[in-house]
Amino acid sequence: MKPLSPADQLFLWLEKRQQPMHVAGLQLFSYPEGAGPRYIRDLVEHMRSFNEPQSPFNQRLVSRFGQYFWETDKQFDLDHHFRHRALPKPGRIRELLAYVSSAHSNLMDRERPLWEVHLIEGVQGRRFALYTKVHHSLFDGIAAMRMGSRALSDSPDVLDLPPVWAMPPRQRKTPHLPNPVEVATGLARFTGGVGKQVATLPAVLGEIAKVARKSKRDPNFVSFFQAPPSLLNSKITGSRRFAAQSWCADRFKAIAKASHATLNDVVLAVCGSALRNYLISQQALPDRPLIAMVPVSLRRDDSTEGNQIAMILANLGTEVADPTLRLERVKASGQEAKCRYKAMSPAEILNYTALMMAPAAVQLLTGLAPGLQPFNVIISNVPGPKEPLYWNGARLTGMYPVSIPVDQVALNITLTSYAGQLEFGLTACRRTLPSMQRLLDYIENGVQELEVAAGLR
């Protein structure tokens, strides 16, 4: 049996009915040229023939003395994990997103391997979709993206590709190094990690002291627990709404070049504009700026399993109407966080994050500290494939992340890059954030106002 790391176990401890802790991806494909009426039926039969999954898709959870382990599922049932569905006519994207919203609301059975694949036919325009759901204890976003991309090909002529659960594990090109997350929390199980933990404390405590001093001098500095109360930070239910759309990446890159900013700065500023307009429409805009938690990958190898992520906090400038000023505030907060982390090792970064976020973790686990709100929204940008990809002759036309809202953080915005596009996936509690899909229109408005400000329109 293989033990889960403390970080991976955390996603199991956090899970409850209103807070499923799985991530997913929605892939949209166009039919190959010349595909006949049996194309989908043959594809389904091909996928069902792979009924012996590879690791980690053949692993189920077991618990021993409060510790979770992975073990091979000796009673694997493919019919539970692979599902073939058809959209009701007319099969618009609206119906597809409604299906994903419903499927993403459901908890997965912990007695079985924690993944599902849904093949969805009947999408308008001779298209079909794959919705793939995995528990966050099994993969982080970078790992899931790598696994999904490996199941595809860069040529439409490559056929008979196996489904993702049948892909053989990638052999490491370098010796395996211990997951830095395993030594980044005081919950480490093994005494061998204690020395590494202690060794990081001087640097971590020094950074915390610097943060405390700077937060007193600089009113625009983003410190922990300065996020204002907002509509986004309410209790959630188990009901989900998913919205998705693609944008041309060149539009964001042009703004970044003209504004001397990074692509991620522009993404955050656009999201800040969209959230400002959405909250104004709900008559719920706070006077102070919203704060985004932005995950940062620390993965330094080509591995796919487990979680290796830290975080930064970004000022979204939602209290200002000027798009240029908003972008400058986003740039300043991001640059400060990058400079801080540049001088720290991965273990120090993770220990720093763990110590500063400990009160928020207590709130997530127990609900006993509602006043400790370090951030209002999660915004994550996961790099994806640069060239068009295919699966058994079908071209991948869109790939949208489906992520995790949590109690007190009812919205998660995750995007990935693919073949010159930025693919936005917005996942929210359906009841907490009414008409959340309007954020897609507000994102377009945010791009346009920055293009005007940069002289691109």
* Residues contacting residue 249 through CB under 8 Å, at least 6 positions apart: 263, 417, 420, 421, 422
Any alpha helices (H) in 346-386, and if so which ranges?
346-366
Helix axes 323-342, 194-217, angle to 10 degrees: 140
* Residues contacting residue 245 through CB under 8 Å, at least 6 positions apart: 424, 440, 443
Angle at 316 between CA 311 and CA 319, to 5 degrees: 150
Residue 58 corresponds to which amino acid?
A: N
Which tokens go with 178? 């211990």
CA distances from 272 to 68, 280, 325, 447 (A): 39, 12, 12, 11
Helix axes 439-453, 323-342, angle to 10 degrees: 90
**Contact between 54 and 167 (Cβ < 8 Å):** yes
Q: How many helices (H) and strands (E) does the chain have?
A: 11, 15
* Residues contacting residue 127 through CB under 8 Å, at least 6 positions apart: 28, 29, 30, 31, 397
Which tokens go with 17? 């009915």
Q: Which of 80, 135, 136, 260 is catalytic?
A: 136
Concerning whether 46 is annotated as a catalytic residue, the answer is no
Catalytic residues: 136
